[in-house]
């Protein structure tokens, strides 16, 4: 069975469109983050969240009303939502306050939330979970997450440069950066909280999105040895087409598992699964449209190691002329095939 | 079946049996009450706090305290040394790491140098004008003190938690000055927090003046006399009213000299905590009590006088803390026995997961795993037909090895870890997809089935190594980033990646070889269901 039978799409011809689409998404995402902010999960924002299980679930409005009346300072800053499967009758209340970090008073707001709801007679409930995060934790996490991300990018850059060549490494890393920015944009569009799990998913996307890129680059390298007469663009285009089936299928299987997590993994993993889904899709897109395009941009300005090292290259100055000629030729070939 | 294949099959079966035994069987045995030896059940895959329920605390050690304490103690020693040599001079501590001496007469400069010689190991001295000197603690000594205080705090917390009787607690240093405490199964956070965070500093000091109704009554010329401290205490045993005592800053005997503490009752049959001192403490305590008969001895706990009885006779190795409530007795003995914290602790983060919340997470995690596995099995069977079975067997092996290795190395399964497990399915079959697609390509180029399969595995091998290494790089930094649950995720990913290389290459290829070996070697194999 084949998804594509002998595909022959000219991906590189669409690279400017792809650049435009990517920038539109990324800029729209940045704009959304700039105007509305990226909602931060409790680990990053600090605060107190209390999860309560009721005998009969009260409405969100009733809980909010109870907080407005009984929570010290009013409940206008509180977030109230039903938590998990409706069958488990759980409600989560999140308030931005935390108690003093000294002694045991950190949990005072959690107590206040519980008391406020008890006072309002919302029916019998028990507290099944609390999470209290002091204000200093978020900054440290942001810093740690950022450094983990940058270090893993440097690691991947180094590895691909070592195994392939530097322009490929640049392509892979730019594609990964692109994926992370696009994923952030979608997190902003769909208002998912930035949590530890989401960051973990983003770091996983960093590692995973290079996979498709490596598969394509591997084929580019193989084809470069076979097709010495063709231009780099031509080789890249053919390589992308040859590997298109597996690029789509590997993304598909990863997507299947991410979707299973999104639908059945429960409340805590929702943001994680969403991030993975977006990351897998954009990772595949960027492998095809971004990574290879970056290689051609980079190679145009920088002399290439591979083409000069290649025994077929006659002399360096002659090479561009030959490439131009062959790319013209291949264009006409393509027209012939299309007709 | 030729010899080569037989050995491969034996290897695979052995690996499968071992990892099923370690990773899968104990879980099934527990769920369905099947017989299983205790040593095997002990090795069972451990569940993280987010699945099992419990308390997760992150504390920061206020390492400044340790430096301040060191400066204070050194300043006190210097004061004593100056007093003994009759050198005038005001000793103060302007910052946590500095000691300042003012008003040393020029004529006694040499004598002062001699008196302060002891300080030079830990402090840098810089002379100022008019007989003033500033001693600054050396940076390496400061760093050492900070690091030591975190280690000591961790050890103290460890002892306290063990005394509490929590099963499988996890107490670890984290970052520069943080300590992570995980207490599975504990739901009374407040109690756990008060025991962990209590300074637990016991000091026995002779009362120099007091009790008095207010702090000011004890001051001389509106100041606390040099080397003295004014400490509050309860006016009576029931805790009503506050009185103040003046005591020396340096303790005669402290909690460091304590060997044991246990609940007891005092002569009025009220709850109390008895403590026993070690030989060094007993010697010091003996001398102090002998020379101060008739005076009051303040028993100070965390800078508050709990009682100040009059010394009747020489006491050596034991004493009693009275004025505690019945509820406090057990906790206090526990805290005293485990020793004082070297520095104050602040709570940065606190999370309680009820057992029902954990059970929900396990349920949804298992559902997601089953659904994910079924989706992938369906897809592989439809797309790769019989070869899909090969990929599915490799995948199931991959998951069994993953569970087995995690159990074997004692890694903890968390909710994000379950997510990693599900993702391993989706990402794991990718290797098979790459190999199968390559085989298809070779078949289309008319290379024959055997040659195509060999070429498929050979050509894709280094691609797989590259993709796995780059995913591993990211996963390794994930360990650096994460705590608890996220680490569980990172470990799952890393182990899954490693076992995937084995199953997708070695296991999968052997399965093809077995399938082909059924046909005669000379027979031209023309078709492959792929």
Is the pLDDT at A317 greater than 50, yes or no?
no
Is the pLDDT at A304 greater than 80, yes or no?
no
More confident residue, B80 or B238: B80
Predicted local confidence at residue A104, as pLDDT: 55
Q: pTM of the full predicted structure?
A: 0.80
Number of residues that this document lists for chain A:
339
Closest CA to A254 of A203, A205, A324, A317: A205
Q: How many CB pairs under 8 A join A and B?
A: 240
The percentage of chain A sitting over the pLDDT mark of 70, rounded to a whole number, equals 86
Domain boundaries, chain B: 3-52+355-517, 64-142, 198-350
Fold type of domain B198-350: Gyrase A; domain 2 (3.30.1360)
CATH architecture for the domain at B3-52+355-517: Up-down Bundle (1.20)
The percentage of chain A sitting over the pLDDT mark of 90, rounded to a whole number, equals 37
CB contact under 8 A, B470 and A211: yes
Predicted local confidence at residue A163, as pLDDT: 92
pLDDT digits (tens, 9 = 90+) for B179-220: 999 898 887 788 888 888 888 778 888 888 878 877 777 777
Predicted local confidence at residue B162, as pLDDT: 84
Q: Which residue of A has its CA nearest to B487?
A: A200
Instruction: For residue B503, give the DSSP letter.
Output: I
CATH 3.30.70.3220 fits A47-133, yes or no: yes
ipTM of the complex: 0.82
Cβ within 8 Å of B, A 170-229: 172, 196-197, 199-200, 203-204, 206-208, 210-211, 214-215, 218, 222
Is the pLDDT at B237 greater than 70, yes or no?
no
Average pLDDT over residues B221-229: 77
Mutate to test the interface with B, among A129, A161, A262 (most CBs of B within 10 A): A129
Cβ within 8 Å of A, B 72-101: none
Say if CB B324 and CB B306 are below 8 A apart. yes
CATH 3.30.1760 fits B64-142, yes or no: no
Predicted local confidence at residue B524, as pLDDT: 58
Set of chain B residues whose Cβ sits within 8 Å of the Cβ of A128 = 354, 356-357
Provide the 3-class DSSP secondary structure of residue B264: strand
How far apart are the C-alpha atoms of B34 and B22, rounded to whole Å? 15
pLDDT digits (tens, 9 = 90+) for B288-308: 888 888 888 888 888 888 778
CA distances from residue B185 to A5, B192, B330, B354, B459 in whole angstroms, order as listed = 57, 12, 21, 8, 51
Domain boundaries, chain A: 11-38+138-333, 47-133
Set of chain A residues whose Cβ sits within 8 Å of the Cβ of B347 = 101, 104, 106, 132, 134
Set of chain A residues whose Cβ sits within 8 Å of the Cβ of B353 = 129
Predicted local confidence at residue B367, as pLDDT: 94
Give yes or no for B456 touching A (CB within 8 A).
no
Computed over every residue of chain B, the mean pLDDT equals 85
Give yes or no for B58 touching A (CB within 8 A).
yes
Predicted local confidence at residue A103, as pLDDT: 54
pLDDT digits (tens, 9 = 90+) for B87-127: 888 888 888 888 988 888 888 888 888 888 878 888 888 88
Set of chain B residues whose Cβ sits within 8 Å of the Cβ of A145 = 481
| Residue B285, both tokens | 């305590």
Predicted local confidence at residue B262, as pLDDT: 83
pLDDT digits (tens, 9 = 90+) for A50-85: 999 999 888 888 888 888 888 888 778 888 988 888
CATH entry, A11-38+138-333, from 4.10.520.10, 3.60.40.10, 1.10.10.60, 1.20.1640.10: 1.20.1640.10
pLDDT band of residue A157 (cuts 50, 70, 90) is: very high
Give yes or no for A252 touching B (CB within 8 A).
yes
Residues with Cβ within 8 Å of residue A188, at least 6 apart in sequence: A29, A32, A33, A36, A38
CB contact under 8 A, A151 and B477: yes
Computed over every residue of chain A, the mean pLDDT equals 83
Cβ within 8 Å of B, A 284-323: none
Is the pLDDT at A324 greater than 70, yes or no?
no
Report which secondary-structure segment, H or E, holds A132: strand A125-133
Predicted local confidence at residue B315, as pLDDT: 77
Give yes or no for B368 touching A (CB within 8 A).
yes
How many other C-beta atoms are found inside a 10 Å radius of the C-beta of residue A330?
Answer: 18
Average pLDDT over residues B224-236: 78
Average pLDDT over residues B516-522: 69
A300-309, B225-234, B349-358, B421-430: range with lowest mean pLDDT: A300-309
Set of chain B residues whose Cβ sits within 8 Å of the Cβ of A245 = 437
pLDDT digits (tens, 9 = 90+) for B17-50: 999 988 888 888 888 888 888 888 888 888 888 8
More confident residue, B74 or A180: A180
Predicted local confidence at residue A189, as pLDDT: 93
CA distances from residue B429 to A33, A284, B390, B424, B467 in whole angstroms, order as listed = 36, 16, 10, 8, 13
CA distances from residue A241 to A219, A248, B217, B466 in whole angstroms, order as listed = 10, 11, 91, 21
Is the pLDDT at B435 greater than 50, yes or no?
yes
């Amino acid at each position: 069975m084949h998804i594509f039978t002998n595909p022959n799409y000219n991906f590189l011809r669409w690279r400017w469109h792809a650049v435009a689409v990517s920038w539109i998404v990324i800029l729209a995402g940045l704009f959304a983050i700039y105007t509305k902010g990226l909602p931060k999960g409790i680990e990053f924002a600090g605060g107190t969240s209390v999860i309560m299980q009721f005998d009969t679930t009260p409405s969100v409005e009733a809980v909010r009303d109870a907080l407005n009346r009984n929570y010290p300072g009013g409940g206008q800053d509180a977030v109230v939502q039903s938590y998990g499967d409706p069958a488990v009758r759980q409600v989560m209340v999140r308030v931005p306050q935390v108690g003093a970090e000294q002694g045991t008073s950190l949990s005072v707001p959690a107590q206040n939330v519980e008391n406020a709801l008890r006072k309002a007679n919302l029916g019998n409930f028990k507290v099944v979970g609390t999470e209290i995060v002091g204000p200093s934790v978020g900054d440290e996490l942001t810093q740690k997450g950022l450094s983990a991300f940058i270090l893993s990018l440097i690691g991947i850059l180094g590895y691909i440069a070592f195994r392939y060549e530097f322009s490929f490494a640049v392509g892979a890393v730019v594609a990964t950066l692109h994926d992370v920015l696009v994923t952030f944009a979608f997190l902003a569009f769909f208002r998912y909280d930035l949590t530890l799990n989401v960051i973990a998913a983003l770091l996983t996307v960093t590692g995973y999105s290079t996979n498709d890129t490596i598969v394509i680059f591997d084929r580019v390298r193989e084809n470069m040895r076979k097709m010495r007469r063709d231009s780099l663009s031509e080789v890249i285009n053919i390589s992308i087409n040859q590997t298109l089936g597996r690029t789509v299928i590997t993304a598909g299987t990863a997507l299947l598992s991410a979707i299973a997590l999104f639908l059945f993994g429960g409340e805590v993993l929702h943001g994680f699964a969403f991030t993975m889904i977006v990351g897998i899709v954009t990772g595949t897109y960027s492998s095809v449209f971004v990574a290879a395009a970056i290689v051609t941009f980079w190679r145009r300005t920088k002399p290439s190691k591979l083409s000069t090292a290649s025994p077929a290259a006659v002399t360096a100055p002659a090479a561009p002329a030959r490439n131009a000629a062959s790319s013209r030729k291949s264009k006409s070939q393509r027209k012939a095939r299309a007709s | 079946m030729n010899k080569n294949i037989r050995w491969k099959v034996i290897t695979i079966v052995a690996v499968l049996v071992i990892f099923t035994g370690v990773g899968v069987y104990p879980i099934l045995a527990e769920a369905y009450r099947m017989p299983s030896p205790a040593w095997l059940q002990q090795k069972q895959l451990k569940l993280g706090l987010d699945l099992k329920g419990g308390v997760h605390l992150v504390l920061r050690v206020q390492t400044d305290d340790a430096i301040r304490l060191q400066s204070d103690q050194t300043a006190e020693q210097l004061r004593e040394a100056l007093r003994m040599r009759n050198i005038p001079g005001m000793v103060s501590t302007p910052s946590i790491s500095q000691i300042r001496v003012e008003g040393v007469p020029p004529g006694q400069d040499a004598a002062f140098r001699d008196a302060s010689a002891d300080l030079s190991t830990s402090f840098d001295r810089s002379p100022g004008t008019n007989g003033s000197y500033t001693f600054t603690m050396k940076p390496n000594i400061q760093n050492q003190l900070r690091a030591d205080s975190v280690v000591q705090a961790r050890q103290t917390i460890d002892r306290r938690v063990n005394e509490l009787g929590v099963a499988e607690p996890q107490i670890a240093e984290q970052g520069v000055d943080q300590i992570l405490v995980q207490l599975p199964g504990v739901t009374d956070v407040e109690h756990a927090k008060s025991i962990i965070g209590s300074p637990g500093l016991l000091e026995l000091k002779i009362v120099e003046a007091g009790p008095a109704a207010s702090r000011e009554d004890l001051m001389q010329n509106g100041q606390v006399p040099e080397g003295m401290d004014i400490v509050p205490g309860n006016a009576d045993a029931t805790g009503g009213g506050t009185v103040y005592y003046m005591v020396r800053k340096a303790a005669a005997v402290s909690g460091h000299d304590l060997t044991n503490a246990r609940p007891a009752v005092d002569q009025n049959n009220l709850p109390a905590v008895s403590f026993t001192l070690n030989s060094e403490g007993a010697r010091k305590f003996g001398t102090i009590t002998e020379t101060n008969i008739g005076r009051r001895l303040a028993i100070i706990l965390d800078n508050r006088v709990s009682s100040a009885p009059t010394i009747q006779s020489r006491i050596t190795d034991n004493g009693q803390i009275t004025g505690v409530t019945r509820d406090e007795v057990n906790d206090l003995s526990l805290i005293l026995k485990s020793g004082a914290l070297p520095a104050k602790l602040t709570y940065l983060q606190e999370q309680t997961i009820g057992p029902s919340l954990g059970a929900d997470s396990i349920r949804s995690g298992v559902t997601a795993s089953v659904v994910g596995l079924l989706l992938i099995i369906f897809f592989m069977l439809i797309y790769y037909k019989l070869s899909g079975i090969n990929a599915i067997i490799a995948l199931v092996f991959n998951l069994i090895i993953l569970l087995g290795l995690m159990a074997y190395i004692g890694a903890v399964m968390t909710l994000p870890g379950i997510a990693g497990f599900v993702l391993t399915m989706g990402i794991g079959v990718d290797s098979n997809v790459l190999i199968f697609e390559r085989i298809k390509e070779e078949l289309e180029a008319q290379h024959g089935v055997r040659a195509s399969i060999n070429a498929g595995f050979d050509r894709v091998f280094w691609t797989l190594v590259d993709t796995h290494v780059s995913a591993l790089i990211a996963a390794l930094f994930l360990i650096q980033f994460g705590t608890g649950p996220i680490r569980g995720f990172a470990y799952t990913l890393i182990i899954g990646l490693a076992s995937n290389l084995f199953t997708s290459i070695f296991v999968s290829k052997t399965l093809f070889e077995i399938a082909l070996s059924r046909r005669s070697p000379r027979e031209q194999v023309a078709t492959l269901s792929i």
